[in-house]
Structure 1
Amino acid sequence: MRNSRLLWFIAGALTVALAVVLNPSPERHRASIKERIAQRSQLAEILHLGDLVAFVSSYHSLGVASYTVVNDRTLSVGALGMVFVLDQGAAK
């Protein structure tokens, strides 16, 4: 019984440590934002609107996950090395 609890504790601690290590950096969020905006519109790509939006975004880390905000709207969410850029309709 005790060995089983110890194993679960170690597995949990390793999972949390891995999530902290893999938490996406501000640069990963900004790169994903730039890429997603460029994919949505050729004009936005030509005008580098993704660069502007990425520049004004605020990065917030929760340790095991992170997110960026622009004008009180969540723009991207990241965890375990992955970044997801939210659609404008979903970012309300």
Structure 2
Amino acid sequence: MTKFLIAVLVLLGVALATNPGADSHRAKLKAEIAERSQIAGVLGLGGLAALVSTYYTLGVASYTTINDKVVSYGAFGLVVIPDLGNGR
């Protein structure tokens, strides 16, 4: 039981230390939008989306939203952008 508790505490510490910040989320969002659409990349829409996004942290994980829709998740130093949808 003690080894399990130590492992959980270490994992929690690593998650806290490597939680991606707002800049990581915004950079990933900007790059992902530019990658998915060349026109959006040329027009700089990824930068605009990154600018209007709101960053939230849960300590061990984080996320950003635009208009109350979650657009990125982050944990352990990684940021993931789910399918942003195409409005259909």
Specify the TM-score bucket, using the shorter chain as the normaliser. over 0.9
Extract structure 1 runs of 4+ deviating beyond 4 A: none
How far has the Cα of 1:43 moved from its partner?
A: 0.9
Q: Is residue 2:23 matched to residue 1:23?
A: no
Q: Following superposition of structure 1 onto structure 2, how do residues 1-92 of structure 1 map, counting pairs within 5 Å? A: 5-89=1-85
Cα distance in 2 between the residues matched to 1:88 and 1:33: 10
How far has the Cα of 1:88 moved from its partner?
A: 2.0
Relative to the length of structure 1, the TM-score reads 0.89
- In proportion to residue count, which structure has more helix? 1
Cα distance in 2 between the residues matched to 1:87 and 1:8: 36
Structure having the higher Rg = 1
The aligned length equals 85
Aligned-residue CA RMSD in angstroms? 0.7
SS at 2:63 equivalent: strand
Relative to the length of structure 2, the TM-score reads 0.93
Cα distance in 2 between the residues matched to 1:8 and 1:88: 38
Task: State the percentage of identical aligned residues.
Answer: 46
Structure 2 unaligned segments of length 5 or more: list them. Answer: none
Corresponding letter in the other structure for 2:29 = I
Structure 1 unaligned segments of length 5 or more: list them. Answer: none
Corresponding letter in the other structure for 1:80 = F
SS at 2:64 equivalent: strand
